[in-house]
Structure 1
Amino acid sequence: MSGGAAFSALVIAGLIFLVLIGIPVVTSLGVASVVGLAVLTQSADIAFGLLGTTAFEAIRGYVFAVIPLFVLMGELIARSGAAADLFTSLSRLLKRVPGSLAVSTVAGNAVFAAVVGVSVASAAAFSRIAYPVMVKAGYDKRIALGCVAGSSALGMLIPPSVLMIIWGILTQQSIGKLFVAGVIPGLLLALCYAVLCVVRAIVSPEKFGKSPRATEAVSPAATPATRDELLGSFGCGLAVFTVLGGIWAGLFTPTEGAGIGVIVALVLSLAKGMRWAGLRAAILATGRTSAPIMFLLIFAQMYSRLLALGGVGETIQVAMAGLGLGAGMVIVVMVLVWFVLGMFVDSTSIILLTVPIFAPLAQQMGIDPLAFAIIGILAIEVGIITPPFGIAVFTVKAAINEPQTPLSTIFLGAAPYWVLLLGMVAAVYWFPSLASWLPSVN
């Protein structure tokens, strides 16, 4: 390994150390990248000059508007009450299915994911919407909480997904194709989750309600549908159909689709009675969510330049080739890295830290880039329900506000969903057409 590559590898190790000890990722990336580039170029002025140029280039692009627009769309729909309407409508539709409330939670998360794109938002929303109803119906708490936490992972796989947007920006892949690539794996995973709930409800009905009649009595489906509920449910479906359908059909770009989605969400929110205070809160929440991501993207570009100048990517590729590992073992190593990082670091940061290294290596190994992206997002999502620091589990715990319910109950409840997530990682690797087929027919 050259001296520059060795030093860059040392900087990366220092970067990971800073992240793991609790230094914010954006700060760690910035410090490590600027210091590393200053040493490699032997000039602090060049390093800071590159920082200024990178900051300008990283966020001036038209494509970067897609992040705050999709976040705003999700905030408007979430705050309008449409998610609760969606759950109620699905409960009514599925009321004869064993474990209907759990299946409705999975289905609701799948649709809600397609308008929010953030797993944590789904976990928080359905902890407040679905969990109280399931508990009132006599569901075992482990079953109910596990269902909410486990199915929230759909938020980053079913498009539009913030992780897919960031992945596409970092790898210069088509965001629209990444969105479409996630549709089949996302729907299959949601179907597997629903089947899991049905099978468990048949095998252990006592854990899914005191009795079918009692469950039906407290279900939202027990009351007649209101016009407001139908409006919220229809609005969610319209937003999904308009945005994803338009992108897939080539009628508009992801950025244009995000803009149209915001218009649909705004009209829905106003029709649902949202006023200026709610709109202002949604806009401020969008800024609080989007601004850190934009800063992360700036320093991620600096990090990529450090890797390129230091020759780290090439060094890792040569090392992997020297070990004689096949594509399958390389994927296993990557998944293990994502798996471990997912227990300590948020999903966005994991992508920014690893994808600049892993994506070129996967391309060299001949792995389909769309399939690799879905594998990566799935593997990273495993971490959000993995102890000790699964962020979706902590979100559910905070949202239900039950001090007597330990975190272990939620982790154990989410374990079957964790297994299915890993199974989908393997399925996409062995059958890459699950991710690549739909974009190819576009």
Structure 2
Amino acid sequence: MITKMQCATAVAAVVGLALGTSGAAQAEGLKLTVWHNTQDTPAVLGLYKAYEEHSGNTIELVDIPADDFQATTLTKWASGDRPDILEYFPNLANLDRLNPSQNLIDLSDEDFVGRSAIYDLGGRASDGKVYAAITTFPETWGLYYNKQVLADHELEPATTFEEVMAQCAVLSKAGITTLHQAGGSSWPVYATPLVYASGVTEPGWVDDVIAQKARFDDLDSPWVLAMQAWIDMKDAGCYNSDMTTATFEQSTNAVYAGEAAYQMIHSNIAAVYLDAAGGDADALDAAVGFVGVGATEPKTVMNAGPIGSFMAPKTGDDAQEAAALDFIRFVTGEGYPDYIQASGTFPIQDGVPAPDASQLLKDIKAAYDKGPRVILINQNVPGGDGNGLQVVSELSVGQLTPVEAGGQLQQGVAAAAQALGLPGW
């Protein structure tokens, strides 16, 4: 059940708020609902409170569970329900699902767009307009690893799937899980084939899919290759025995405790690792590192993530829309430097100083900088592999072969392309 909570009590005030780039609306003591991910970091939660203090308005958080974040958000959205502020995935495929030209305020002319190159990566829909304000360093996908486990077995952090498979032979003999999977949380299992497929996708492949020159179920498609690699690792005994029921928090705990060598997931989970370490950043840095990973050669897979990415839905209430814009301008403007310092992550806006980050976050930044960087394969595919979680779930328990799974993904792409009215579909 989705719950609501107040961030703080509103301060009685009269606040002048600009709507768009011209004109103004006056509002006082407004309550703004925010659909937010329950994995919001303490820094993001602090950003909501900072806005309350800045504006005199109140933020009411509507919890969207991280385990089923995308599906829950889309279900609520499809019901016609709207928040004042939406925290959600800012990539093209997910923005298109929201029918942004009709339902979201165009942010293209806002000042923050010109202060960051991140809008070359995300925040824009198919019409080229910016609908999402991104505040957080891009999600960088790779391997969290236990330093002591690797050292005890004289292994270096793996930077390719081939190296993970080779290390699996060593670690399995010692009774250590090589790559911890979390089927109980559904989406983390999806991460492994997603990262693999992203690393082997040839330039132009997505365009060929849209032009119907290539399919997801082709024998040489990135997805078929990726799902076969996932099965090969399962058959080799590289995964935990409770992989179908374990949660991603259990994965982080297993890696931190040295019960597993690796977890493949994105950089925003660093905060969950800090929780596993009881909030002790030094203990975490001593135990856990991070490295980028590719299929057959080192790569850094990345995307703009949902945590700290905000949209302003059109609600039909001028005062509420103006207040939502005021929130977005605050979190990308006056409130942004303090947020970066509190988060310990790296700024994406020009001229904002970086904080003194933990070693784990420095590892993540180093992986991002090292590259070569590639964008997640599903970011610009119609529908964004919207049925991918279900497909990989069925693959993981042997209900689908890799080619059959690719066929299911192809059906999802076709349905999305038809809904978007793409030519030829």
- Normalising by the smaller structure, the TM-score range is under 0.3
Q: TM-score, normalised by structure 2?
A: 0.26
Which protein has the bigger strand share? 2
Q: TM-score, normalised by structure 1?
A: 0.25
